[in-house]
């Protein structure tokens, strides 16, 4: 949440800051602002609303200079307003701060500073930090930031500039990501790599409690005790185009269309020259796999639904128990970590605050952590014991799509790998599943051909106020994911039910014309799903079914059908989620919403 950019060099800082912020707007878009050093002063411009509002302000009131910081906000403390926008300054306007995170003890600090005569203009926790740095400032900005941060509780990624230090930006982090970009005679700071890609691919990842001094000539990193740290430069492989819309009207549609390639890119490195499955370097060699007694999966949002799919896939193929927990629940429920647990963390960004905290808790209790993540260099990837990357490329749209399907693929590959070692699947069954996994990118490509059909469905139904998804077994997590997708970008009220639960309460919601989306891919459950469809139809529901062409029972009953590509039962989530993603996308477009930046949301949830 919140995007930060910093630039120091010879070029126009404001252009680089605005361009960087536009690449980070997915992190928050309530307000935006910049502070640029110009001729002995810090010029601050900030505005409530999208980045365009700031652009307009800058046209009227331009700023010049070659050093500055910028911010795009997702509000936590204080409603979106010009005053609450970042950067925040000390009283004299000589120090400016941008911040991502939450200063948890800000009330106490505010009281302390208030007693010393400081006054406050905003409702934010960040402004307190600007005054606290001022309080400790004795002529050395780096020391003032280090001293101030010693008194701060909570999470932060910050950039600080001062009119008295035109040659440096001070950056620091704890529990919120920050990347330092290295250039020639210029250097950069950003919350996320896409903001830097046009200028450099050589980056340093700042670690918790570290503080950096970024000058035109170089980057110096210090640990929490102020001791210089040697950090290896990391070369980012993503190219600029990967983080651009490339002719698509929205990132979400582009990312849905990238799914076949993302899946192939995730699959290929795990198949060796002989065409065999090859999972190495995860600490899951024979002995370790045989020792697993339970799998515990922890994640948030869409990633947690990938985990729910994992429960069905692992239990069916390995015959060992699987627990799936929301990270926000796991971290506060005094969880039991046992010998023989394989602890799986799933996170696209690798930065989600709750997932990170849950992972750290499990690790502190002795669990060995395997992370499935998309972002190389992310905090989760650095702190986990082993990482299985989803090679989906940058996912920019707030609504997760290609990250989800590649997470599912990683789960399927892990299940295959472990099943072979444990001998929990018959050879022929294993071979058939492995062959079907390799066919998935092509099947997903074929599924995308249903786009026009889904678009027509969206046109017919985008005006509904409620939509209910039903599914059983592996279709249940996809019902939940389809429902989340629909509500987060089209704002249609939606819920998902395990179809067998209908008669225990939810069926009371069905009335004449209620839209029910029935996902039915599990052949042995067609009859059960058919009964559920009859039950809702008898109460007036309009049923849109998503099922393979052989599901005659379902096809006969449904009012409308989106036909799914056929595949092995365990792989159906990779197929059935595609029309669910497209449906949410087209409903949002039909309703005229900003698909990539839905209200109240941000891409990377780095605060609790």
**Which listed residue (2, 159, 410, 457) is catalytic?**
2
CA angle 207, 209, 215 (to 5 degrees): 75
Considering only 58, 149, 303, 359, the residue that binds ligand M6R (CB under 6 A) is 303
Task: Tell me if residue 455 is catalytic.
Answer: no
d(CA 353, CA 350): 9
When the beta carbons of 318 and 353 are compared against ligand M6R, the nearer one is: 353
In angstroms, what is the minimal distance from the CB of 524 to ligand M6R?
30
Taking CB under 6 A as the binding criterion, the range among 308-316, 361-369, 394-402, 430-438 that sits at the site for ligand M6R is 394-402
In angstroms, what is the minimal distance from the CB of 450 to ligand M6R?
20
Q: Strands 386-389 and 369-373, how do they pair?
A: parallel
In angstroms, what is the minimal distance from the CB of 51 to ligand M6R?
20
d(CA 69, CA 178): 13
Q: Which of residues 576-605 bind ligand M6R (CB under 6 A)?
A: 604-605
Binding mask 307-346 for ligand M6R (x = CB under 6 A): ----------------------------------------
DSSP 42: E
Q: Please report which helix (H) or strand (E) contains residue 162, including its range.
A: strand 154-162
Task: Tell me if residue 443 is catalytic.
Answer: no
Inter-residue contact 22 to 51 (CB < 8 Å):
yes
Binding mask 474-513 for ligand M6R (x = CB under 6 A): ----------x---x-------------------------
* Residue 347 near ligand M6R by CB under 6 A: yes
DSSP 140: -
Inter-residue contact 343 to 325 (CB < 8 Å):
no
Q: Which of residues 243-302 bind ligand M6R (CB under 6 A)?
A: 300-302
Sorted by sequence, the CB contacts under 8 Å of residue 59 that are 6+ apart come out as none
In which residue are the tokens 């920050």 written? 178
In angstroms, what is the minimal distance from the CB of 104 to ligand M6R?
21
Q: Which of 498, 357, 396, 307 minimizes the C-alpha distance to 25?
A: 396
In angstroms, what is the minimal distance from the CB of 185 to ligand M6R?
35
When the beta carbons of 359 and 499 are compared against ligand M6R, the nearer one is: 359
* Residue 398 near ligand M6R by CB under 6 A: yes
Considering only 22, 76, 348, 462, the residue that binds ligand M6R (CB under 6 A) is 348
Give, to the nearest 10 degrees, the angle between helix 572-590 and helix 475-490: 20
Q: Which of 603, 562, 565 minimizes the C-alpha distance to 255?
A: 603
In angstroms, what is the minimal distance from the CB of 561 to ligand M6R?
25
Tokens of residue 81, six digits: 């307003």
d(CA 70, CA 13): 10
Considering only 90, 191, 349, 406, the residue that binds ligand M6R (CB under 6 A) is 349
d(CA 131, CA 119): 9
* Residue 400 near ligand M6R by CB under 6 A: yes
Considering only 399, 457, 518, 595, the residue that binds ligand M6R (CB under 6 A) is 399
Collapsed DSSP state (helix, strand, coil) of residue 492: coil
Catalytic residue annotation: 2, 603
Q: Which residues bind ligand M6R (CB under 6 A)?
A: 300-303, 347-349, 352, 355, 398-400, 484, 488, 604-605
């Amino acid at each position: 949440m919140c995007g930060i950019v910093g630039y120091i060099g010879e070029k126009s800082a404001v252009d680089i800051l605005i361009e960087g912020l536009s690449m980070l707007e997915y992190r928050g878009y309530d307000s935006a602002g910049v502070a640029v050093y110009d001729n002995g002063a810090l010029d601050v411009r900030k505005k409530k609303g999208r980045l365009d509002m700031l652009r307009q302000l800058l046209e009227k009131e331009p700023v010049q200079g070659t050093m500055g910081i910028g911010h795009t906000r997702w509000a936590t403390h204080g409603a979106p307003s010009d005053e609450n926008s970042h950067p925040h300054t000390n009283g004299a306007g000589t120090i400016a701060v941008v911040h991502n995170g939450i200063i948890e003890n800000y009330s106490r600090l505010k009281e302390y500073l208030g007693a010393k005569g400081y006054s406050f203009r905003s409702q934010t926790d960040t402004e307190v930090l600007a005054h606290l740095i001022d309080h400790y400032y004795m002529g050395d900005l780096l020391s003032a930031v280090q001293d101030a941060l010693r008194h701060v509780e909570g999470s932060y990624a910050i950039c600080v500039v001062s009119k008295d230090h035109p040659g440096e930006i001070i950056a620091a982090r704890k529990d919120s990501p920050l990347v330092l970009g290295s250039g020639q005679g210029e250097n950069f700071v950003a919350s996320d790599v896409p903001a830097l890609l046009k200028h450099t691919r050589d980056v340093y990842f700042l670690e918790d409690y570290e503080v950096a001094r970024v000058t035109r000539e170089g980057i110096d990193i210090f640990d929490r005790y102020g001791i210089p740290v040697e950090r290896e430069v990391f070369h980012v492989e993503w190219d600029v185009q990967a983080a651009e819309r490339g002719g698509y009207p929205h990132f979400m549609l582009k990312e849905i269309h990238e799914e076949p390639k993302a899946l192939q890119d995730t699959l290929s490195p795990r198949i060796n020259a002989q065409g065999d499955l090859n999972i190495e370097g995860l600490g899951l060699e024979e002995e370790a796999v045989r020792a697993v007694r339970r799998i515990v999966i922890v994640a948030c949002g869409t990633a947690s639904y990938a985990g729910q799919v994992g429960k069905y896939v692992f239990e069916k193929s390995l015959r060992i128990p699987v627990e799936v927990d929301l990270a926000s629940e796991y971290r506060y429920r005094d969880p039991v970590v046992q010998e023989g647990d394989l602890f799986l963390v799933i996170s696209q960004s690798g930065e989600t605050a709750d997932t990170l905290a849950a992972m750290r808790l499990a690790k502190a209790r002795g669990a060995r952590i395997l992370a499935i993540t998309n972002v190389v260099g992310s905090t989760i990837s650095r702190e986990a014991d082993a990482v299985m990357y989803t090679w989906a490329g940058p996912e920019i749209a707030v609504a997760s799509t290609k990250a989800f399907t590649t997470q599912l693929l990683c789960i399927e590959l892990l299940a295959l790998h472990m099943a072979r070692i444990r001998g929990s699947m018959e050879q022929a069954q294993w071979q058939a599943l492995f062959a079907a996994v390799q066919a998935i990118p092509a099947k997903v490509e074929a599924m995308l051909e249903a786009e026009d059909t889904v678009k027509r469905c969206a046109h017919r139904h985008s005006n509904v106020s409620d939509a209910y998804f039903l599914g059983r077994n592996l279709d249940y997590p996809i019902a939940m994911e389809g429902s989340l997708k629909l509500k987060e970008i089209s704002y249609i009220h939606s819920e998902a039910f395990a179809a067998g639960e209908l008669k225990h309460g939810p069926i009371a919601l069905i009335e004449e014309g209620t839209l029910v989306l029935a996902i039915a891919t599990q052949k042995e459950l067609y009859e059960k799903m058919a009964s559920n469809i009859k039950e809702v139809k008898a109460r007036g529901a309009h049923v849109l079914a998503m099922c393979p062409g052989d599901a005659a029972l379902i096809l006969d009953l449904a009012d409308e059908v989106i036909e799914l590509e056929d595949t092995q039962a365990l792989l159906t989530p990779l197929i059935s989620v595609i029309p669910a993603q497209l449906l949410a996308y087209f409903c949002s477009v039909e309703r005229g919403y900003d698909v990539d930046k839905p209200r109240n949301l941000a891409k990377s949830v780095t605060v609790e």
